Amino acid sequence: MINTAMHSRWGRLSMAVLGAFIYAIGINLFVVPAGLITGGMMGFCQLLRSILLTLLGIKSLSFDLTGIIYYVLNVPLFIIAYRSLGHMFFRNTLLCTTAYTVFLSIVPIPSTPIVEDILTGCLLGGVISGVGTGIALTSGCCGGGLDIIGLYMSKKGVKITVGQFGMVFNFVLFALCWMMYDIPTMIYSVLNNIFHGIALDRAHRQSVTVQVLIFTKKDGQELDQYIMNNLHRGITRWEGKGVYTGEDTHILCVCMNKYEIEDLRDALRKIDSSAFFIVQEGVHVSRNFERRLS
C-alpha cells in the first residue's frame, strides 16, 4: 500500500505530510521535553531567537519567533530548490515546510519527559524524527533548511549524504553555542542528531545506491527496453548457463537507487514472472551514474 502511494502524485504528497507529522511527534514528544537542541536549521533559528531576545532585553513573547526566522532563512534555499532541484520539488517542499511548521505548532509538548532516561529519549526522538524526514524526502519533498542544501550538494556530485551533511553542520552549531548550554545537554543533543541522521539516511531510499543482478531465460528485449526507457538506467548483459539444467541464462547488471526497485519488481512480474534478481545495497558508484535524490 505504501509503495503504491509513493508512485502517485497525491499519494506522495500525503506521505510527505505524514512524514512531517512523524517528525513533529519525534521532536515535540521526546526532544523538546528533554531540553535538547533540535539541531539543523531549526536549531540554528532557535539560537538566533535566543540571541535576538537577549539583545532586545525581552524575556518572553506570546509567540515563538523561531518559525518566522526559519521561513525567512528558507527563502534563498527555496530559490535554490526552484532552480536546481526542479519546479515540482520546489512546490512540494513549500507544502512540506508548511506542514512541518503546522504540526510542530499543534502537536502538544508534554510538561515532563515521556521517558525518564534522557538517553532513551534522545534515541527515540532522533530515530522517529529521522524516519519522518526520510519519508518526506523519499516522497520528493523536504522541510527546507539543511535538507535542500544536502540534496543540492549531492546533486552536484559532492560525496556526502543528506544525513551526513546535517551531522557535520550540527557539530559546528553545537560548538558555536557551547557557552549557551551545559555540557551534558550538548552531548545528548549531539547523540540525538546522530540518531536522526542515521535514521534519515536509511529511510531516504533514493540516497541508497544498489546493484541489481537479474537472471532471466527470456531472450526478448522487452525487459532491456523497459529499464532503459522507463527507469533510464544503463545495463550490462552477460550470457550464462545454469549448472543443473544446462539452460542458457541472461544476466543483466543494473545500478539504481533503492526507491526504483519497486518499479523494477512490478516490471518483472509482467514481463517475466519466472525471473529473479539479487539486490546488493550500499555499493559505491562513480563517474557516469545519475543520482536521483527526490
Q: What is the pLDDT of residue 174?
A: 82
Q: Using CA atoms, how far apart are residues 232 and 254, in angstroms rounded to an integer?
A: 11
Looking at the chain, the whole-number percentage of residues with pLDDT higher than 90 is 2
pLDDT at 272 over 80: no
Domains of the chain: 2-206 (no CATH), 208-281 (3.30.70.120)
Which tens digit of pLDDT belongs to each residue from 245-267?
Answer: 778 888 888 777 666 767 777 77
Q: Report residue 232 as a C-alpha cell.
A: 533510464
Which tens digit of pLDDT belongs to each residue from 154-163?
Answer: 676 666 666 6
Q: Using CA atoms, how far apart are residues 37 and 142, in angstroms rounded to an integer?
A: 20
Which tens digit of pLDDT belongs to each residue from 58-67?
Answer: 765 545 566 6
pLDDT at 3 over 60: no
Q: What is the pLDDT of residue 61?
A: 55
